[in-house]
Structure 1
Amino acid sequence: MADQCDLCLLGLIILSSLLTGTSGVVENVFISSGENVRLPCNNALSDCKSTTWIYNSFRRSGTIELIAGGIKNKNRERHERLSLGSDCSLNIKNVTKEDSGLYSSLQFVNGEQHGPDAHVYLHVLHVSVSPSSSQTEISPGRSVTLFCQLDSGFSCDYLVHSDELHLSWVNQAGVDLKTDSRYQILFSSDHCIITLTTTLLNEDDNREWRCQLTLRNQLQTSVRYTVKYSGEKQLLLL
Structure 2
Amino acid sequence: MAEFRWIQMLSFLILMLQFNTAATEQTYTLLVRFGDEVTLPCGQSDCGRTEWLFKDLTSTETVQLIHRGTIVKKDKSKSDRLTVTADCSLLIKTITVGDAGSYTGTNCSSQHNQQQYADFHVHLSVINMTEHENNGEVTLFCSVLDVDKCAHTVQWIYEGEDKPSDMKISARSCTATVTFTISDLNQRSKFYELLKCNVMNQITKTVQLFPFSRQSSGGTTAAATQQIYTLLVRFGDEVTLPCGQSDCGRTEWLFRGVTSADKVQLNNRGTIVEKDKSKSDRLTVTADCSLLIKTITVGDAGCYTATNCSSQHNQQQQYADFHVHLSVISMTEHENNGEVTLFCSVLGFRKCAYTVQWIYEGEDKPSDMKISARYCTASVTFTISDLNQKSKFYELLKCNVMNKDTKTVQLFPFSRQCSDGTTGETAPTNEDFPYLLRCIIASVGSAALLISAVTVNMWAKSKVNKTQMEKRSVHKDEDEGTVTYENSADPSASVRLH
* TM-score band w.r.t. shorter chain: 0.5 to 0.7
Q: Answer yes or no: is the 8 Å Cα contact 1:126–1:223 preserved in 2.
A: no
* Partner in structure 2 of residue 203 of structure 1: 187
- Structure 1 position 183 matched with structure 2 position 183: no
Question: CA 1:33 to 1:59, structure 2 compared with 1: closer, same or farther past 3 Å?
Answer: same
- Structure 1 position 218 matched with structure 2 position 220: no
Q: Offset of 1:187 from its aligned partner? A: 1.0
- Structure 1 position 99 matched with structure 2 position 99: yes
* Partner in structure 2 of residue 27 of structure 1: 28
* Partner in structure 1 of residue 69 of structure 2: 70
User: Which protein is bigger by CA-based radius of gyration?
Assistant: 2
Deviations 1:155-190 (A, max 9, x none): 32xx4xxxxx332212356x8x9x86432111111x
CA distance in 2, matches of 1:37, 1:94: 9
SS in 2 for 1:49: helix
Deviations 1:193-234 (A, max 9, x none): 1011111222234322221312244334624147xxxxxxxx
CA distance in 2, matches of 1:105, 1:223: 32
* Partner in structure 2 of residue 86 of structure 1: 86
Count of residue pairs brought into register by the alignment:
180
CA distance in 2, matches of 1:187, 1:38: 30
Q: Offset of 1:45 from its aligned partner? A: 3.4
* Partner in structure 2 of residue 17 of structure 1: none
Q: Answer yes or no: is the 8 Å Cα contact 1:123–1:151 preserved in 2.
A: yes
* Partner in structure 2 of residue 149 of structure 1: 143
Code of the aligned partner of 1:149: S
CA distance in 1, matches of 2:164, 2:86: 48
Code of the aligned partner of 1:60: S
SS in 1 for 2:25: coil
CA distance in 2, matches of 1:151, 1:223: 18
SS in 2 for 1:150: strand
Query: What pairs up with 1:3-18 in 2 under 5 angstroms?
Result: none
Q: Answer yes or no: is the 8 Å Cα contact 2:56–2:102 preserved in 1.
A: yes
* Partner in structure 2 of residue 117 of structure 1: 119
Structure 1 stretches of 4+ with a deviation exceeding 3 A read 179-182
SS in 1 for 2:130: strand
CA distance in 2, matches of 1:125, 1:93: 15
Question: CA 1:102 to 1:223, structure 2 compared with 1: closer, same or farther past 3 Å?
Answer: farther
What is the TM-score normalised by the length of structure 1?
Answer: 0.66
Question: CA 1:182 to 1:26, structure 2 compared with 1: closer, same or farther past 3 Å?
Answer: farther
1:130 is aligned, of 116, 132, 136, to: 132
CA distance in 1, matches of 2:119, 2:153: 30
SS in 2 for 1:98: helix
Code of the aligned partner of 1:150: V
Q: Answer yes or no: is the 8 Å Cα contact 1:56–1:101 preserved in 2.
A: yes
2:155 is aligned, of 142, 147, 168, to: 168
Code of the aligned partner of 2:72: N
Q: Answer yes or no: is the 8 Å Cα contact 1:104–1:117 preserved in 2.
A: yes
Question: CA 1:120 to 1:194, structure 2 compared with 1: closer, same or farther past 3 Å?
Answer: same
Q: Answer yes or no: is the 8 Å Cα contact 2:155–2:170 preserved in 1.
A: no
Q: Answer yes or no: is the 8 Å Cα contact 1:101–1:121 preserved in 2.
A: yes
Q: Answer yes or no: is the 8 Å Cα contact 1:30–1:221 preserved in 2.
A: no
CA distance in 1, matches of 2:209, 2:64: 28
CA distance in 1, matches of 2:145, 2:211: 13
Code of the aligned partner of 2:180: T
Over the matched positions of the two proteins, sequence identity in percent amounts to 27
CA distance in 2, matches of 1:187, 1:237: 25
Code of the aligned partner of 2:167: Y
Q: Offset of 1:122 from its aligned partner? A: 0.6
Q: Answer yes or no: is the 8 Å Cα contact 1:31–1:221 preserved in 2.
A: no
SS in 1 for 2:80: helix
Question: CA 1:33 to 1:186, structure 2 compared with 1: closer, same or farther past 3 Å?
Answer: same
* Partner in structure 2 of residue 49 of structure 1: 48
Deviations 1:125-179 (A, max 9, x none): 0111113xxxx7xxxx8211111100114432xx4xxxxx332212356x8x9x8
Q: Offset of 1:86 from its aligned partner? A: 1.4
Question: CA 1:70 to 1:188, structure 2 compared with 1: closer, same or farther past 3 Å?
Answer: same
**Consecutive unaligned residues in structure 1, runs of 5 or more:** 1-22, 109-113, 160-164, 227-235
Q: Answer yes or no: is the 8 Å Cα contact 1:210–1:225 preserved in 2.
A: no
Q: Offset of 1:89 from its aligned partner? A: 1.1
Question: CA 1:170 to 1:81, structure 2 compared with 1: closer, same or farther past 3 Å?
Answer: same
CA distance in 2, matches of 1:225, 1:88: 32
Question: CA 1:148 to 1:89, structure 2 compared with 1: closer, same or farther past 3 Å?
Answer: same
Code of the aligned partner of 1:151: L
